[in-house]
Structure 1
Amino acid sequence: MEPNKDLIELNVADFAMVFEDLTRIFIRLPSIEKLSFTTLSVLHTLSRKSPMRLTELTANEQVTQSAITQLVTRLEKDGLVERRSDPNDGRVVQVHITPRGANIIDSRRLERIAHITTFIKGLTPKEKQAIVSAIPALRRLAELGGDA
């Protein structure tokens, strides 16, 4: 049996390196909001999964319970998150992102889109089409790794 010539071998090491480079670029893009990486990570997580228990945030962000408690306290003082009792269990506190916190994530995303748009202008039509074609697979990959 002949190997399928349409099958493209994926070099996972190359793929990882490119994503590391892109991640570094994304993190370092200039922004109006100057917040720490951990702060932005928590806000981004809450923008997609709010509300969350402190224990869930601790596990998700891979920091200590003490660190997440301090961070949430600071974010709460800044009006970016709020703590509320779990309606199903009054002993449990849930962390909710506020409209102000969500606005920071939205504005940073818009800033990133503007920067990336300038980068994309340097691509050929064929390169742009390759990215368009890859988006569904990349979205699925993100879903598969979402709990990692």
Structure 2
Amino acid sequence: MSRTAAGTLSALDRHGPSRVSDLTRLEAVGQPAMTGLVQRLEATGLVSRTSDPSDRRATLVAITDAGRSALAERRRSQDALIAARLGRLSPDRLDALGHAVDALVELTQEDHDQPH
């Protein structure tokens, strides 16, 4: 599964049914690329498309149970890969990485605390 496919499934899992145009913005890809991706995900049963009840001209894309299962499997696989790679680091490097992550979380939190 590509990163964009995983990101799209993750966005649908988080945000619920969405228009292709919304997914295009969330994943920062072009409309034709997202349309093609949604078609492939639908063909494999990972998403479904329905009419938007607020605008019958538009279509909503939703993650299916199979899509949630595939996303969960990808996350497990990625977690295992990261854990294996982290296991090769020395304790000092792991400690430094932990401090760097803490700093990034603080910076991110500062961004969320700022009014827009």
TM-score computed with the length of structure 2 as normaliser? 0.70
Stretch of structure 1 that moved more, 62-71 or 74-83: 62-71
| Conservation of the 8 A alpha-carbon contact between 1:47 and 1:105 | no
Match of 2:45 in 1: 79
Q: How many residues align?
A: 111
Task: Name the % identity.
Answer: 39
Match of 1:123 in 2: 89
Of 7, 11, 21, which aligns to 1:45?
11
**1:88: Cα distance to partner?**
3.6
Looking at structure 1, the residues matched to 30 and 92 of structure 2 have their Cα atoms a distance apart, in angstroms, of: 46
TM-score computed with the length of structure 1 as normaliser? 0.58
- Counterpart AA for 2:61: V
Give CA-to-partner distance per residue, 1:79-128, whole Å, 9 cap, x none. Answer: 10111233444433221111211222211111121122222222233332
Alpha carbon RMSD of aligned pairs, Å?
Answer: 2.9
Rg (Cα) greater in structure: 1
**1:136: Cα distance to partner?**
4.4
**1:71: Cα distance to partner?**
2.0
After TM superposition, what 4+ stretches of structure 1 lie above 6 angstroms from structure 2?
Answer: none
> CA 1:86/1:135 → structure 2, altered by over 3 Å: closer, same or farther?
farther
- Determine helix, strand or coil for the equivalent of 2:79: helix
Q: How does 1:91-106 map to 2 (within 5 A)?
A: 91-106=57-72
Of 58, 65, 68, which aligns to 2:34?
68
Match of 2:74 in 1: 108
Of 134, 137, 140, which aligns to 2:100?
134
- Counterpart AA for 2:41: L
| Conservation of the 8 A alpha-carbon contact between 1:83 and 1:94 | yes
- Counterpart AA for 2:66: R
